[in-house]
Amino acid sequence: MPRGVPKSGFRVTRKRQAINFAPQAVKSVRSETVAEIESKLADRFEALEIMSEATGKGINRSLIVSGPAGLGKSFTVEAKLAELEQKGHSVTYIKGYVRPLALYKLLYETRHQNSVLVFDDSDSVFYDDVSMNLLKGACDSTERRVLHWLSRSLDKEEDDEGESIPEKFEFQGSVIFITNYDFDAMIESGNKLAPHFQALVSRSHYLDLAMKTKMDYIVRIRQVVRGGMLRDRGFNAAEQTMILEFIENNMERLRELSLRMVVKISGLYKMDKSNWQKLAKQTCFRNAA
């Protein structure tokens, strides 16, 4: 079994609850210069590295990372936590739907110091009152964080070592939430769950990666490619420039602007260096032409 995955198998992705908020909105309007965007994103991702490591070490109890999909949130967090795992820290990743009782069990299994529980694209936990109350308790700033589950449904639950899970325990671990949703917008919307989101933000460091426009996305893609993303896949400088120029020239028509799209288009280039642009237009554009 891979390290950091509970026996109960909560990594399995299930259908998530319907939600009323769109992911990070993409806008075409640009109000910052490219240099300003470069500096802004460099600062934000540097902060993400620092705060991911601090949360993994337990210096910070809770971190919420908000930003659009496919632009390096998870990769950055996972890279820093992988370094801590090599030093003996425990890291557990959760993807997909998690019920409240399963969440209580997960928190129990990651209750020790130097343990971090990472919710990556597992936004269903935010929309359940019981789960939110457990998370607020786990992320609280009080000296002792004691969580309770007073229900017969716990009677047959056991941890990874086969021991019965108690009705209460002290949580000394830390939590990271990686999400595509803009918590500030959720809170400002006045939705009925806004008080829950506000309470969670109050207990956590909230890092918005500040990618709101298509130019933000393009600059971020440039940064990652410049850092070696395509070079490491065997592309020379001229090929990298050609692929980036194609993406930038067609950013309004592409199905998405993300690092995943860079991988797709570079893959098409490897398939057929003569017809890769035609293939990209047929498979990667919203309206194939």
| Mean pLDDT on 12-37 | 56
278: which 2 tokens?
């035609």
| Mean pLDDT on 27-47 | 86
Residue 28 in domain: no
| Mean pLDDT on 173-194 | 89
Position 26 scores a pLDDT of: 52
Residue 21 has pLDDT above 50, yes or no: no
Residue 183 in domain: yes
Residue 139 in domain: yes
Q: Are residues 142 and 265 in the same domain?
A: no
Residue 18 has pLDDT above 80, yes or no: no
Residue 98 has pLDDT above 70, yes or no: yes
Residue 274 in domain: yes
Q: Provide CB contacts within 8 A for 22, sequence distance 6+.
A: none
Write the single-letter amino acid at 237.
Answer: A
- Condensed to tens digits (0 to 9), the pLDDT of residues 252-285 reads 999 999 999 999 999 999 999 999 999 999 999 9
Residue 31 has pLDDT above 50, yes or no: yes
3-state secondary structure the chain: CCCCCCCCCCCCCCCCCCCCCCCCCCECCCCCCHHHHHHHHHHHHHHHHHHHHHHHCCCCCEEEEECCCCCCHHHHHHHHHHHHHCCCCEEEEECCCCCHHHHHHHHHHCCCCCEEEEEECCHHHHHCHHHHHHHHHHCCCCCCCEEECCCHHHCCCECCCCCECCCEEECCCEEEEEECCCHHHHHHHCCCCHHHHHHHHHHCEEEECCCCEHHHHHHHHHHHHHCCCCHHHCCCHHHHHHHHHHHHHCCCCECCCCHHHHHHHHHHHHHCCCCHHHHHHHHCECCCC
Q: Are residues 60 and 134 in the same domain?
A: yes
Q: Are residues 179 and 71 in the same domain?
A: yes
Q: Are residues 160 and 251 in the same domain?
A: no
Q: Are residues 129 and 196 in the same domain?
A: yes
Q: Are residues 61 and 200 in the same domain?
A: yes
Residue 85 in domain: yes
Domain end residue (candidates: 208, 237, 270) = 208
- The whole domain housing 181 covers 34-40+47-208
Mean pLDDT of the chain, nearest integer: 87
Residue 207 has pLDDT above 60, yes or no: yes
Q: Are residues 269 and 189 in the same domain?
A: no
Residue 191 has pLDDT above 80, yes or no: no
Band (14; pLDDT cuts 50, 70, 90): very low
Tell me how far apart the alpha carbons of residues 237 and 80 are, in angstroms, rounded to a whole number: 28
Residue 4 in domain: no
Residue 5 has pLDDT above 80, yes or no: no
39: which 2 tokens?
């500096």
Residue 270 in domain: yes
| Mean pLDDT on 178-197 | 86
State the pTM of this model: 0.84
Tell me how far apart the alpha carbons of residues 96 and 14 are, in angstroms, rounded to a whole number: 6
Q: Are residues 130 and 189 in the same domain?
A: yes
More confident call, 122 vs 159 = 122
Q: Are residues 91 and 198 in the same domain?
A: yes
| Mean pLDDT on 166-193 | 90
Position 15 scores a pLDDT of: 35
15-24, 64-73, 225-234: least confidently modelled range: 15-24
Q: Are residues 128 and 259 in the same domain?
A: no
Q: Are residues 239 and 188 in the same domain?
A: no
| Mean pLDDT on 43-50 | 97
Tell me how far apart the alpha carbons of residues 210 and 35 are, in angstroms, rounded to a whole number: 15
Residue 23 in domain: no
Buried b (16+ CB within 10 A) or exposed e, 200-225: bbebbbbbbbebbbbbbbbbbbbbbb
124: which 2 tokens?
């269903």
Domains identified in the chain, total number: 2
Residue found under tokens 């990666």: 209
- Which burial class, exposed, middle or buried, applies to 195 when counting CB atoms under 10 A from its CB (0-12, 13-18, 19+)? exposed
- Condensed to tens digits (0 to 9), the pLDDT of residues 56-86 reads 999 999 999 999 999 999 999 999 999 999 9
Position 159 scores a pLDDT of: 66
279 contacts 271 by C-beta, under 8 angstroms: yes
Band (12; pLDDT cuts 50, 70, 90): very low
- Condensed to tens digits (0 to 9), the pLDDT of residues 99-153 reads 999 999 999 999 999 999 999 988 888 888 999 999 999 999 999 999 999 887 7
| CATH number of the domain bearing residue 203 | 3.40.50.300
Q: Are residues 173 and 96 in the same domain?
A: yes
Tell me how far apart the alpha carbons of residues 104 and 130 are, in angstroms, rounded to a whole number: 10
Residue found under tokens 């409240």: 100
Tell me how far apart the alpha carbons of residues 116 and 51 are, in angstroms, rounded to a whole number: 13
